[in-house]
Amino acid sequence: MAEEYKPPEEPYEMFLLSAYYYRKSKSLGDNSIALVLTGDFASVKALEKLQLVAWNNDTNVVANAEIQRITPHNVCRWISMFVTAPLLPDPNKLALSVGNKLVAIPFREPVAKRHEVVTCIAPLFGNEQWQQALFAAHVYKKFGTHMHLYVRSMVSPVFELLKIYESEGYLTIQPWLRISLLTISELDFNPNVNVEFRNQAAAQTDCLLQYKESASYIAFVDLDDVLIPRLAGSYLEEFAHLFHSMPNVAYIHYTKENTKLVAAKRPSDFSLKEMLTSIQFERVSETGKLVADPRHVNSTWIHFPVSIPEGMERYIVPNNVNAITHLKHMKLVTTTTKTLNGSPPAFKPNTYDFLSQGPLLSAKNINEIQKDFERMTSKPEVTRIFPKLPTNFIYLKAIAQCFEDTYYKYHYSGRTDEIKCPGPDRCVFPRGIPCYNSAAEYHSINDGSHVNLHFATNPSFKEEDGCRP
């Protein structure tokens, strides 16, 4: 595999990840379309715009839309891109010009169901850590946010457990697809090795666009980053307070604070109360994550949006006020202390500023979260799956070592010029473990004069031998 960079030429390969049509939108305008694409960063400058054509029962319209970068850097050849344009009412067909012809593309309307707050979780692959997933699901439910999970691959029992949580309204699971170019062999060019962290910025932007008109606030985190509200009894109240603490706030930024905690290795011993009461802050901060007001943010990278409207700004939440609880060092134990009266964990972020005396969360909240967990585990369908949950994390170990070797050892030692594009496609994924992998029908053209367009339809999950990156 040649690693050296040769700028591509027309026609540029582009993969369309999603397209949403908005009848009404405060920020994009009524009857508008928003697209999330990925492709070589050279194509943004070279093409500048994409031409879209839409039809309804009466007429059609042609729109030229600027290609906007979502990814702020060029560490990876393929970046996330955002395109939006006003169209016409009630379109029944949408096409993208590839230069010499039009290619019809799928589109849908965003989520209509009202959720005051949504938390978008970065794409999961080879995912096994059911303790983290249950921790997040119950904490988010307690304080009032809907969790939206992007899943590339997940071991079968964990997937089946979370599907039950989905049916109970805790969360939504969406297949996150591999980029597949039917016209180019992956031996010649593998786009998945050339996108940053499983195309995370595109997933976050997709999530933002889905809930843009139905949520008041949208948070973007990893599964092991759990924000617990401290200024109020719910996410909605805390975010509203912070967004209104100064005028013109487009998004707020929370620092991540690393913690260590204990969790039962065996499902039969598992207790959320034990996990919650064992949290200890390590007084180490990491790069934080954002919460957006969707009226003022149209696309976002992993840690921040590349652009926000003029006159708008970000508010950085001081970490003595609140911070994301990063479940960084989770110790799995076989002998549990079944803390019946474990005291609430202290909030001790990496700061010398004044801290309010309150714990990370109250004993009352911990007990209510544990009670909700017990309510779920008493359901017959959960009781059936629970004993099958993994006690040994094979993928976690393989991926952690691989990410250390290919990314973190350079990132943390300042050797950033040696970093290759980071992502799981550089890792070897073990087989022999039943997994659900995302799947879809792929479509490609190879005769466009400006663009060769690729996209997928009918995304779903398929149970297979081994998780895929």
Q: Report the CATH number at residue 249.
A: 3.90.550
Query: What mean pLDDT do residues 157-162 have?
Result: 99
Tokens of 226: 């759990």
* Position 249 confidence tier, pLDDT thresholds 50, 70, 90: very high
pLDDT of residue 405: 78
Whether 279 maps to a domain, the answer reads yes
Residue 85 has pLDDT above 90, yes or no: yes
CB contact at 8 A, 286 and 258: yes
| Spatial separation of the C-alpha atoms in residues 41 and 67, rounded to whole Å | 11
The pLDDT of residue 1: 41
| 137, part of any domain | yes
Q: Tokens 């979780």 appear where?
A: 121
* Burial profile 289-304: b = 16 or more Cβ within 10 angstroms, e = fewer: bbbbbbebbbbbbbeb
* Bond from prior residue into 11 cis (ω within 30 degrees of 0): yes
- Do 191 and 312 lie in a common domain? yes
pLDDT at 408 over 80: no
Mean pLDDT value of segment 294-318? 96
Q: Outline where DSSP puts E strands in 188-240.
A: 217-221, 225-227
Q: Which tens digit of pLDDT belongs to each residue from 351-386?
A: 988 887 889 999 999 999 999 999 999 999 999 999
pLDDT at res. 272: 98
Q: Is residue 418 domain-resident?
A: no
Give burial (CB, 10 Å; 0-12/13-18/19+) of 222: buried
Predicted local confidence at residue 402, as pLDDT: 83
In this structure, how many other beta carbons lie within 10 angstroms of the beta carbon of residue 79?
27
CA–CA dist 118, 210 (Å, integer)? 10
Pairing of strands 217-221, 117-124: parallel
Take residue 461 and report the two structure tokens written for it.
């999950």
CB 194 within 8 A of CB 76: yes
Q: What is the pLDDT of residue 4?
A: 56
Question: pLDDT averaged over the chain?
Answer: 94
CATH of the domain at 88: 2.60.40
CA distance 163 to 159: 6
C-alpha–C-alpha distance, residues 211 and 55, integer Å: 25
Task: Give a yes or no: residue 7 inside a domain.
Answer: no
Question: Is 87 found in the same domain as 230?
Answer: no
Q: Which of 47, 79, 104 is the last residue of a domain?
A: 104
Give 107-135 pLDDT, tens digit per residue: 999 999 999 999 999 999 999 999 999 99
Report the domain count for the chain. Answer: 2
CB atoms under 10 Å from CB of 424, counted, come to: 24
Query: Token digits for 148?
Result: 């939206």
The pLDDT value given to residue 149: 99
Q: What confidence score (pLDDT) does residue 29 get?
A: 97
Instruction: Indicate whether 448 belongs to any domain.
Output: no
The label of the residue with tokens 């549990």 reads 336
In a domain, 444, yes or no: no
Residue 403 in this model has a pLDDT that exceeds 80: no
**CA–CA gap between residue 367 and residue 232 (Å, rounded):** 18
The residue range of the domain holding 28 is: 12-104
User: Is 431 inside any structural domain?
Assistant: no
Eight-class DSSP state of 291: E
Residue 336 has pLDDT above 70, yes or no: no
pLDDT value for 2: 42
Taking residues 278-285, what's their average pLDDT?
97
Q: Which of 103-112, 138-147, 191-200, 259-268 has the lowest mean pLDDT?
A: 191-200
Residue type, 373: F
Report yes or no: 22 and 212 within 8 Å, Cβ to Cβ: yes
CA distance 434 to 467: 7
Which backbone phi and psi does 10 adopt, to 5 degrees? -60, 145
88: left (phi over 0), alpha (psi -120 to 50) or beta: beta
- One domain, residues 80 and 123: no
Specify whether 128 is located in the same domain as 270: yes
Domain match, 78 and 138 both: no
Residues 80 and 37 in one domain: yes
* Structure-model confidence comparison of residues 459 and 398, the more confident one: 459
Q: Does the residue 401 lie in any domain?
A: no
Alpha helices, DSSP H, located in 26-155: 41-47, 130-143
**Cα gap 186→369, rounded to integer Å:** 46
Contact 319, 257 (CB under 8 A): yes
- Contact (Cβ atoms closer than 8 angstroms) between residue 72 and residue 113: no
Compute the distance between CA of residue 150 and CA of residue 423 in angstroms, rounded to an integer.
Answer: 15
Boundary-marking domain end, from 376, 395, 414: 395
**pTM greater than the 0.75 cutoff:** yes
User: What six digits make up the tokens of 245?
Assistant: 């603490």
Question: Does residue 153 share a domain with residue 51?
Answer: no
